[in-house]
Amino acid sequence: MRRAAAALLLCAAACGGSPPRGPMSDARRMYLAKCTACHSEYAPSTYTPEQWQTALDEMEKLKRVHLSPEERALILSYLSGGR
């Protein structure tokens, strides 16, 4: 029984740690840096991809944020969540 518990603990420790780095985590970091400077964080599921695009259009139109095309694409990829 102790061996099984030790093995389970070892597996859990191996699965833990820092989140993987990759395009989506970079996209989330960009979202947090650019968007939450002015307002609270919203879950990507709050709006449809089309609604997120409209929201970004409005934020840029109101000059609340300036996004390069690359930043915009990265943020939209995060907010769309692969939808």
Q: Are 41 and 30 in contact (CB under 8 A)?
A: no
Domain that holds residue 72: 29-83
Q: Are 76 and 52 in contact (CB under 8 A)?
A: yes
**Residue 28, C-beta contacts closer than 8 angstroms, at least 6 positions apart:** 78
Q: How many domains does the chain have?
A: 1
Q: Are 32 and 80 in contact (CB under 8 A)?
A: no
Quick: pLDDT tens for 15-64: 444 444 555 689 999 999 999 988 999 999 999 999 999 999 999 998 88
Is residue 16, in this structure, part of any structural domain at all? no
Give the integer Cα–Cα distance in Å for 17 and 2. 24
Give the integer Cα–Cα distance in Å for 55 and 43. 14
Q: Whole-structure pTM over 0.85, yes or no? A: no
Residue 73's CATH number: 1.10.760
Is residue 10, in this structure, part of any structural domain at all? no
